[in-house]
Amino acid sequence: MLKDDKFFWFKENRIVIPGVKGEHLFYHLTDSHVDVVDELSTEEEREKFDYQAELWAKYKKVFADKNGEPYGEPQMITTLEAFEKQLALAEEMQPEALLMTGDNLDNMHPAGERYLPKRMAAYKGTFICVPGNHEDPVLEGVWDTGVRTLDYDGFRFAALDDSRLTVSSEDLAALKALCDEGIPIIILCHAPFQTAYNKETMKDLDPYFYFTEESEDENARAFIDLCVTNDMIKAVICGHVHGYHSLEFAPGKPLIIGSQGHAGAVDLVTVAGE
């Protein structure tokens, strides 16, 4: 089985939502940072590809060492090879959905923009994707603007763009409207946020990777307040940090931060009732 490939390492996560029937398994993938060239790539694009490949060969080990996570020869593959392995494993495991929380591409390069929509169209399963800070707000066929949802028995995912450490007024209004429908929500986004409740547990993270209740941005503060205070928002799943963290942003509300997918990290998320 592909799951036995030593490239992969796994974290098990469980989100409990009263009223959910059965157990629902999801595959969380973040920070794949895919770089690719193809027959249409220019010489300049190929040079940039080589530079980025060298950069990530160094820095994915730096992040792994910093967070005490696996890194060895099985992880020393290209970002494209890593992404293909991740999708193949997700297809083998057949989760109810693949949850992709940003920096899917390392940057918005032409070959990547050709590759990713075609590859995800061929993916054998359901997926939902948000952009990361290395990406534009839209990549047709993969992610789009606005709050997008996946509904299940007793809960829903709401995917939105917080890659610039804030959310749009439109997305904030849409999320509030979803909360008013009374269906428990799990947020999918790219960047985590710090609250008074998790300030101590996030103290060792570089402030570059998260936003806070003290943000100068009004929408950022309003988004955090909504997540903390609204009873319909039950959990947040995100990435950006390049290190796995499981904590809470409010009592009983999990904040699951996935590690770097291009170094083999897989979050298995089970959503179940009490």
Q: Could you read off the pLDDT of 39-92 as tens digits, one per residue?
A: 999 999 999 999 999 999 999 999 999 999 999 999 999 999 999 999 999 999
Query: What's the pLDDT score for residue 152?
Result: 97
For the chain, which ranges sit under pLDDT 70? Answer: none
Tens digits of residue pLDDT in 175-187 = 999 999 999 999 9
Query: What's the pLDDT score for residue 1?
Result: 77
What does pTM read for this prediction?
Answer: 0.97
Domains of the chain in sequence order: 2-272 (3.30.750.180)
Pairing between β-strand 148-152 and β-strand 155-159 as defined by DSSP bridges: antiparallel
Query: What's the pLDDT score for residue 274?
Result: 85
Tokens 């979050």, located at residue = 267
